[in-house]
A = this chain, B = another copy of it.
Amino acid sequence: MTTASSPKDPLVLFMPSGKRGRFPVGTNLLEAARSLGVHVESVCGGRATCGRCQVDLQQGHFAKFGILSSCDHISARSDREERYDRLRGLPEGRRLSCSATIQGDLVVDVPQDTVINAQVVRKAAGDRVIERSPAVRLCYVEVEPPDMARPLGDLDRLKAMLARDWHIPDPAVPLRLLPQVQKLLRQGAWGVTAAIHQDEDGGRPEILALWPGLHNAAYGIACDIGSTTIALHLVSLLSGRVVASAGAPNPQIRFGEDLMSRVSYVMMNPDGREAMTAAVREAVNGLIGRVCAESGVAPQDILDAVFVANPIMHHLFLGIDPTELGQAPFALAVSGAVHTTTAELGLAANPGARAYLLPCVAGHVGADAAGATLAEGPHRQDRMMLLVDIGTNAEIVLGHAGRVVAASSPTGPAFEGAEISSGQRAAPGAIERVRIDPETLEPRFRIIGSDRWSDEPGFAADAARLGITGLCGSAIIEVVAEMYLSGIVSAEGVIDGSLAARNPRIAANGRTFSYLLHEGSPRIAITQNDLRAVQLAKAALYAGIRLLMEKQGVAAVDCIRLAGAFGSLIDPKYAMVLGLIPDCALSEVRAVGNAAGTGAMMALLNRDHRREIETTVQRIEKIETALEPHFQQLFVDAMALPHRTDPFPHLAEEVALPRRDAVSGNAARRRRR
């Protein structure tokens, strides 16, 4: 350990964290970094063999810090370091911090992309640099040979070295490892690498796995089990890099498209729960196989796994019957974080690998919402952040560091294309963008698989190839918003039949009217029923958001994060025109992709993030919309486009909104009866 420093001692600055401190001349650089809380990996325990502790020495005068950093200010390369360079290669300017001592002021860069033993890692996802402090780490020790005069068992002497060299006191050891200890120690000539799991500070550490000699590879998986799609990343626990990613449809779809139909399947079929649990675990195993094959990583080197999922997927993955989640009071079997092993989940990994599931927020707000919360961090900042994941159930989180509230709102499947006459899932040939000329009321659109608008040359050929098959979710939002902006639809959501005179696309359809988007096979039109379905869906979401805003006592939010696949596809401007989300500066509305998966990765790479989300979820106030007598009024008010009463000042600066009709609220309410 470092001794007390004086003001005359050299000043060392570590980048990119910016942490710095003064250390006596001769202080080991790795220990200096650690004493400041700078995470520098090391597997070999300072023996200059694993190469994980590499740092870059920065030379020059850093005026801002008053540091003149020079290669004279670090000890010369030791014999061990020279040996490592000969055997493994050390890039120019790189030093093994375990073998270097401080001789003067230094600026040192801790690279986030340490490439070890020429193993190529590639960046497939996640731009974010997550500070590392994984729950599983590798520790190499050299054990004393057996001694008749001190007859401690081989394992006990191994544990003594873990205590001495790594300050790991009395780790638990699973029975499975006991028969291997003696052979491994002798194979490694008394050198052995232990994978140590310690999730909670002060919790009992556990030896998960042992390898003879130095073992320099440790991986984890971060996985988001969605109702529709399962996404999985393989991440190096030593470098923090994503080495491979893969996704696959959730095979449970064959038991039911949406969550409630899967719950029904369990209720109707005696083996339904088992079949669905097996299906989702098989799918995860398939993805593990794919990422391992792609990256050349052995499944045996996977030592930790973190999962996020909505409550029903979470329960089915764990083997829990989700029936209670299908009916009030929507009781979760378990809401807290779940600690288990990949073996118990039937997953292909090291036999000792651990598994962790983030906590669920409530019966309809799952571990996926917790993951998104962890990733986007409303609880970490002062501004009022709205975080929305739109699916059949929208999960809504609103808050800042002082207070976070959450709710779910049953938006229904309209945005997934169901309940809409020409609706469909996003797929090639589906219309995804729509514009309507406010003068002529003529539409133009784009389909998935083509980058041309329908009025551009070449579109016809694309359309002939792909077909024009229906409206996907983003197009449903855009077409309704554009119909509103062009005056075809009133704020109450009624198609103005008088416009049939201006353009025959507006045509009577029984007692109501419809708007023809595309004359073909199929014929794609927006009916009054479609509009009503969209209004019901968007009103449910908006009312949920509004309820949370009331709980927080705010009339506006500072920023909006749209999580999930749907959030990435929609245009925030049209979502706002529709009144799907509240008013906000458009520059503050951002799609954040699979934020739940990012949260899983954070929890994989840094156990402090597990504690952070566990504490945060306990603090989040859960609002059950069904219990709020006020909710019905909020819902009715949100039926109008964009809203009966709420102003949209930021939106109005960007878009010419139609004049608000003062009586629309009453009209809307009449129609609900």
Contacts and interface: CB of A to CB of B under 8 A. Distances in A.
A101 to B, nearest CB: 37
Interface string A142-183: 000111111111111001000000000000111110110111
Interface stretch (A249-257, A332-340, A503-511): A332-340
Contacts of A624: 148-149, 151
B151 A318 contact: no
Given A179-B318, A318-B178, A360 B153 contact: yes
Given A149-B624, A363-B151, A627-B148, A336 B203 contact: no
A179 B320 contact: yes
B622 A178 contact: no
A642 to B, nearest CB: 30
A113 interface: no
Interface in A333-362: 333-336, 338-341, 344-345, 360-362
Contact of A150 (B330, B336, B622): B622
B331 A146 contact: yes
A147 B624 CA distance: 10
Given A172-B339, A175-B345, A318-B175, A334 B181 contact: yes
A181 B172 CA distance: 27
Contacts of A341: 175
A153 B332 contact: yes
Given A175-B340, A203-B204, A333 B149 contact: no
A151 B333 contact: no
A329 B204 contact: no
Contacts of A336: 153, 155-156, 159
Interface string A441-473: 000000000000000000000000000000000
Nearest to A277: B179
Nearest to A319: B179
A1 interface: no
A419 interface: no
The DSSP consensus for interface residues of chain A is loop
Contacts of A175: 318-319, 338, 340-341, 344-345
A626 interface: yes
A56 interface: no
Nearest to A361: B151
A321 interface: yes
A626 B173 CA distance: 32
Contacts of A146: 324, 329-331
Contact of A204 (B152, B204, B332, B333): B204
A154 B319 contact: no
A311 to B, nearest CB: 9
Contacts of A183: 321
A63 interface: no
Nearest 10 Cβ contacts at the A-B interface: A153-B335, A146-B331, A151-B362, A153-B332, A155-B334, A153-B334, A175-B340, A148-B624, A148-B329, A175-B344
16 contacts: A146-B330, A148-B624, A149-B622, A151-B331, A151-B362, A151-B622, A154-B331, A155-B333, A155-B336, A156-B336, A159-B336, A175-B319, A175-B345, A176-B344, A181-B333, A182-B320
